[in-house]
């Protein structure tokens, strides 16, 4: 494997791994806080058990998220030294604030995990909430750093030098808001669906319905609200991409030719050589409408971009399609769930609905990985959009393919251990928290 490809793959692998753990680590504390709140209010043991079971999950994910994040902060330099040399001082601001947020998060987690029955119960509850809030803030901050790579701001580029640096402007670049919004909602949607689905599975198996039923209710609430908001925020993201990164938009939509009243493409296989798309469904004018709110506006195609600056079309397009399809499925499932609630049907009885939730366990996370692929691959060949090429940023050290294999092995084994642990955690639920009793329908 050539070193450049290996470096990119290693970066992508580490990020793809980190993002799963960090999403769960930033969202689960909120679920926990809700369960904890109910326990404090109602004194029903089931809520206490849920809180404790989840808090163990949070600890596992937090630690894995923290180490994989530490690895990333080194890897940025190990793999992309020339990028960091220029970019560090410009886009470092969110990272320094993120450090503060992480710190608070770790301290609050210490209080929370080891503080049962030691502190005032509301103070203890509050520390749990602080874990969530600071995790959430760090997510937003780091995404704003990534947004800077897509939409660089806060410096002047004169004779190959980055001068007049303004880290605050860099942080509030054009893309930060839409990306941070979309990512935060995505984290809630993905984690909510995954957790709800796992508990739905246990309900279907008729194990500890009381425990799993209450857990399901909490997780699914977060999940559906986020999943319903997600397409709207995605639409906003697309508008921003159109404004700041026309090449990425063209690749996402496989729009080879600049045209007025551009069509929205659904599915299809882009044929890059012949610059056309096979078997796609085109909705005329819809793309123009989506990004400019005007059916006739012109949308830039790939032909407006010099050949060496074009991103890989096929990967970007497929990844975008996957994300959108999953997003729509999650949206529909959420709407169905709400209808079921409104009709006051017992969702415990509607097994088919629960089965859908079980099927949707991985959906959100697949969409997240796909979404990041759109963002990152769609930015290629640039690492700092329009300023620095990825090839020029890679480390000159040879042999990166070996470190890539090493990381792959480590990450695969870690994933296995985490799955194994969670499996055990779930298996132990009857032993640790066996409480008889049924819950009624919502």
Partner 1 sequence: MQYVVITYLFLSILLYFLLGGADFGAGIIELVTSKRNRNKTRTISYHAIGPIWEANHMWLIIAIVILFVGYPRIYTTMSLYLHIPLLAMLMGIIARGTAFVFRSYDAVKDNMQRIYNRIFILSSCITPFFLGVIAASAISGRIDTNADTFLSAYIFSWLHWFSIAVGFFTMALSGFLAAIYLIGEAEDDNSRRRFIRKTRMMNIAAVIFGVLVFVAAWVEGIPLTHWIFENVFGLSAVTLAAISLVILWVFIYQGHTKIIRLLAGFQVTMILFSIGYSQFPDFIIIKNGINLSLFNSGANDKTINALGLALLAGSVLILPFLGYLLYSFQKQPLSANPSPEG
Q: Which residues bind ligand HDD (CB under 6 A)?
A: 143, 150, 175, 179, 182-183, 186, 189-190, 230-231, 234-235, 237-238, 241, 248, 323-324, 326-328, 330, 364, 367-368, 371-372, 374-375
Measured from the CB of residue 368, what is the shortest distance to ligand HEM in angstroms? 7
Of 76, 229, 384, 394, which lies in the binding site for partner 1, with binding defined by CB under 8 A? Answer: 76
Give the number of residues in contact with ligand HEM, rule: CB under 6 A.
41
The sign of the torsion formed by the CA atoms of 259, 310, 84, 187 equals positive
User: Residue 366's closest CA among 333, 327, 421?
Assistant: 327
Q: Which is nearer to ligand HEM, 24 or 229 (CB)?
A: 24
Q: Which does 390 bind (CB under 5 to 8 A by kind): ligand HEM, ligand HDD, partner 1, none?
A: ligand HEM
Contact 153, 173 (CB under 8 A): yes
Q: Which residues contact 99 (CB under 8 A, 6 or more apart)?
A: none
CA distance 361 to 359: 6
Q: Which residues contact 237 (CB under 8 A, 6 or more apart)?
A: 178, 179, 181, 182
**Contact call for residue 181 and ligand HEM (CB under 6 A):** no
**Contact call for residue 170 and ligand HEM (CB under 6 A):** no
Measured from the CB of residue 176, what is the shortest distance to partner 1 in angstroms? 16
Angle at 293 between CA 291 and CA 299, to 5 degrees: 45
CA distance 22 to 124: 23
**Contact call for residue 314 and partner 1 (CB under 8 A):** no
Q: Which does 410 bind (CB under 5 to 8 A by kind): partner 1, ligand HEM, ligand HDD, none?
A: partner 1
Q: Which is nearer to ligand HDD, 138 or 179 (CB)?
A: 179
Stretch that binds ligand HEM, among 32-40, 136-144, 157-165, 299-307 (CB under 6 A): 136-144
User: Residue 225's closest CA among 338, 120, 315?
Assistant: 338
Angle at 175 between CA 166 and CA 333, to 5 degrees: 150
Name which of residues 354 to 373 contact ligand HEM (CB under 6 A).
369, 372-373
CA distance 377 to 371: 10
Q: What is the DSSP string of 66-118?
A: HHHHHHHHHHHHHH-HHHHHHHHHHHHHHHHHHHHHHHHHHHHHHHHHH-TTT
Give the number of residues in contact with partner 1, rule: CB under 8 A.
71
Q: Dig out the tokens for 382 from the structure.
A: 């640039």
Q: Which does 377 bind (CB under 5 to 8 A by kind): ligand HDD, ligand HEM, partner 1, none?
A: ligand HEM
Of 97, 325, 336, 341, which lies in the binding site for partner 1, with binding defined by CB under 8 A? Answer: 97
Q: What is the DSSP string of 291-329?
A: HHS-TT-EE--GGGS-GGGPPPHHHHHHHHHHHHHHHHH
Q: Which is nearer to ligand HDD, 270 or 364 (CB)?
A: 364
Q: Which does 306 bind (CB under 5 to 8 A by kind): ligand HDD, partner 1, ligand HEM, none?
A: none
Contact 237, 179 (CB under 8 A): yes
Of 33, 35, 60, 145, which lies in the binding site for ligand HEM, with binding defined by CB under 6 A? Answer: 145
Residue number with the smallest Cβ distance to ligand HEM: 25
**Contact call for residue 85 and ligand HEM (CB under 6 A):** no
Measured from the CB of residue 217, what is the shortest distance to partner 1 in angstroms? 23
Name which of residues 165 to 194 contact partner 1 (CB under 8 A).
165-168
Of 6, 18, 31, 203, which lies in the binding site for ligand HEM, with binding defined by CB under 6 A? Answer: 18
Measured from the CB of residue 180, what is the shortest distance to partner 1 in angstroms? 18
Angle at 154 between CA 150 and CA 158, to 5 degrees: 95
Of 332, 338, 412, 417, which lies in the binding site for partner 1, with binding defined by CB under 8 A? Answer: 417
Binding mask 37-56 for ligand HEM (x = CB under 6 A): --------------------
Contact 236, 178 (CB under 8 A): yes
């Amino acid at each position: 494997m050539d070193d450049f490809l290996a470096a990119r793959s290693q970066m992508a692998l580490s990020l793809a791994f980190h993002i799963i753990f960090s999403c769960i680590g930033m969202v689960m504390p909120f679920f926990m806080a809700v369960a904890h709140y109910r326990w404090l209010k109602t004194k029903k043991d089931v809520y206490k058990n849920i809180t404790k079971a989840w808090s163990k999950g949070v600890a596992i994910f937090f630690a894995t998220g923290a180490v994989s994040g530490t690895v990333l902060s080194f890897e940025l330099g190990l793999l992309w030294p020339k990028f960091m040399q220029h970019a560090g001082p410009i886009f470092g601001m969110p990272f320094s604030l993120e450090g503060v947020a992480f710190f608070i998060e770790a301290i609050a987690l210490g209080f929370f995990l080891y503080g049962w029955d030691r502190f005032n119960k509301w103070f203890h509850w509050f520390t749990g909430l602080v874990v969530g809030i600071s995790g959430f803030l760090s997510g937003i901050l780091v995404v704003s750093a990534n947004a800077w790579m897509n939409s660089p701001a806060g410096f002047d580029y004169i004779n190959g030098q980055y001068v007049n640096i303004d880290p605050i402007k860099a942080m509030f670049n054009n893309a930060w808001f839409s990306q941070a919004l979309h990512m935060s909602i995505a984290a809630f949607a993905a984690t909510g669906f995954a957790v709800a689905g796992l508990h739905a599975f246990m309900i279907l198996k008729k194990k500890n319905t009381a425990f799993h039923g209450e857990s399901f209710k909490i997780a699914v609430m977060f999940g559906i609200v986020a999943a319903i908001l997600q397409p709207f925020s995605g639409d906003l993201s697309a508008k921003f991409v159109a404004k700041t990164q026309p090449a990425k938009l063209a690749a996402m939509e496989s729009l080879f030719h600049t045209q007025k009243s551009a069509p929205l493409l659904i599915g299809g296989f882009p044929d890059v050589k012949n610059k056309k798309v096979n078997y796609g469904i085109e909705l005329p004018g819809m793309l123009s409408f989506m990004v400019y709110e005007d059916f006739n506006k012109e949308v830039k195609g790939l032909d407006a971009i010099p050949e060496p600056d074009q991103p890989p079309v096929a990967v970007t397009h497929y990844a975008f399609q996957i994300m959108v399809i999953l997003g729509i499925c999650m949206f529909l499932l959420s709407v169905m769930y709400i209808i079921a609630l409104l009709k006051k049907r017992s969702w415990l009885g509607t097994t088919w609905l629960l089965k859908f939730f079980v099927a949707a366990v991985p959906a959100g996370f697949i969409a997240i990985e796909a979404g990041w692929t759109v963002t990152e691959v769609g930015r290629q060949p640039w690492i700092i959009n329009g300023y620095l090429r990825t090839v020029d940023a890679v480390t000159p050290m040879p042999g990166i393919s070996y470190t890539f294999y090493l990381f792959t092995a480590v990450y695969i084994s870690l994933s296995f251990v985490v799955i194994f642990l969670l499996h055990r955690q779930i298996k132990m639920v009857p032993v640790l928290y066996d409480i008889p009793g049924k819950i009624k329908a919502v």
